[in-house]
Amino acid sequence: MSQRVLTTESGAPVADNQNSATAGAGGPLLVEDQHLLEKLARFNRERIPERVVHARGSGAYGYFEVTDDVTGFTRADFLSEVGRRTETFIRFSTVADSLGGADAVRDPRGFALKFYTAEGNYDLVGNNTPVFFIKDPLKFPDFIHSQKRDPFTGRQEPDNVWDFWAHAPEATHQVTWLMGDRGVPASYRHMNGYGSHTYRWTNAAGENFFVKYHFKTNQGVRSLSAEQAAEQAGRDAASHQTDLLQSIERGVNPSWTLYVQLMPAADAAHYRFDPFDVTKVWPHADHPLQRVGRLVLDRNPDNVFAEVEQAAFSPNNFVPGIGPSPDRMLQGRLFAYADAQRYRLGVNHTQLPVNAPKAARVDNYGRDGLHATRYGSRGDRNYEPNSYAGPAQTGQPLAAPLTVEGRTGTHEAPSRSKDDDFFQAGELYRLMSADEKDRLVANIAGGLAQVTRDDVVEKNLAHFHAADADYGKRVEEAVRALRED
């Protein structure tokens, strides 16, 4: 095989990649050394801003295959036929830590999935928990600030974490999930994924259904204890990345079965709690799981930076037959996710290979900007409407319209009979085995006992008491014992 020639960015061959050009053998460097200057300048710009949240991640390609007929609920083309396969890309991630953090930590996991459908890309941006800490996006920056590194100490502070939760009683349900056994998955392969939010499906007859997504791992749910997680993080900070990479390379392709819960749109107004509140789950007794298909991961990215770090997801990327619900957190993310990628990657980030549609043609009047690679043909007009056969609107909305009413302004979410912040956290606690309860209490007490303000401790204890009397009593006793040591 002939030796490949090293070149500059412009394609010119490089004569010497070991020695810089100098003024004589011992003299200073020369500004005319284009190869040196280009190499250093490019190196300075190799990194892009990391994600504020979900910075540390892993990804893989695969496919989604429909196994059950759901055409009575959605007209989405990629779900229209049993046996149909759609190429996908998934990105798993931790939430709070930076790009240099460890995988085996107690933290929610991102479960972001991109479907390359024939009607455009569909992004489903979820987590490995079915609920979240807050229900209004106005609180999201404050929540993340409380969980990230303190600007003075440079580390995550229990005082900040628990002080925010003390003032956010709706977080009690998610805190119970996070501090329970599933708070540290053994690997990305051994955890479930959830859309978390409520979405909307529209069928061919124009009927709306609200929907929740559940991806159940076919490898079985496996988690790590606090001690196992600390050992694994110390042994291999990239443990989850290692596991995912090696399993796919060995041909042991991880898979998940997708189930959905469905609610006719007309039922939402009379449900006993707000069905669009992301801090709550829909009981399966009310809305049983219905199987849709399976997700299989079978190919690793060739370049982690190009394909995992530059992968961009937005819950606003819908396809015909799928749309948003009035879920407040979802509504905020419809803007925030895409805007974060415009900042990180530029306005043309959708033209990067990992983000570009693979089964659909992009045809619009967007133009220019940083890193633009898509140009029109000679004579194409860059405005609409026009008289030159340019792309035109269809007049067909992706999802059927919803009726809204009321006065504009800031409003608290309307209260319903079961719309408290603690009921479902108590339900979750009572479902746990005795051993699971022991570990949950120990995990909560281990963090809460480090809080320096008594009033913050008391506010959090009140949340656990409100969820379940035994839950609150055990956490209170455990915190007291640790603080007295």
Sign of CA dihedral 224, 225, 227, 229: positive
Give the closest residue to 426 by CA, choosing from 143, 177, 226.
177
- Verify whether residue 44 is a known catalytic residue: no
Note if the bond before 385 is cis, omega within 30 degrees: yes
Give, in order, the Cα–Cα distances in Å from 159 to each of 52, 98, 166, 274, 447.
Answer: 21, 20, 10, 31, 9
Structural element, H or E, at residue 470: helix 469-484
**Over the Cα atoms of the chain, what is R_g?**
25
State the Cα angle at 289 between 288 and 295, rounded to 5°.
175
Catalytic residue among 127, 160, 208, 300: 127
Indicate the residue type of 454: D
Q: Is 167 a catalytic residue?
A: no
Find out whether 174 and 131 touch, Cβ atoms under 8 Å.
yes
Structure tokens that stand for 146 in this block = 């409380």
Choose the catalytic residue: 54, 173, 349, 463: 54
Cα–Cα distance for residue pair 123/330, rounded to 1 Å? 13
Closest CA to 479 of 467, 462, 436, 430: 462
Kindly report the number of other CB atoms within 10 A of residue 411's CB atom: 8
Phi and psi torsions of 7, nearest 5°: -130, 165
- 47 CB neighbour count, 10 Å cutoff: 10
For 361-384, the three-class secondary structure string (H helix, E strand, C coil) is CCCCCCCCCCCCCCCCCCCCCCCC
Q: Are 320 and 75 in contact (CB under 8 A)?
A: yes
Helix 140-147 with 328-345: angle, nearest 10 deg: 70
Residue 181 has φ and ψ, to the nearest 5°, of: -60, -30
Catalytic residue positions? 54, 127
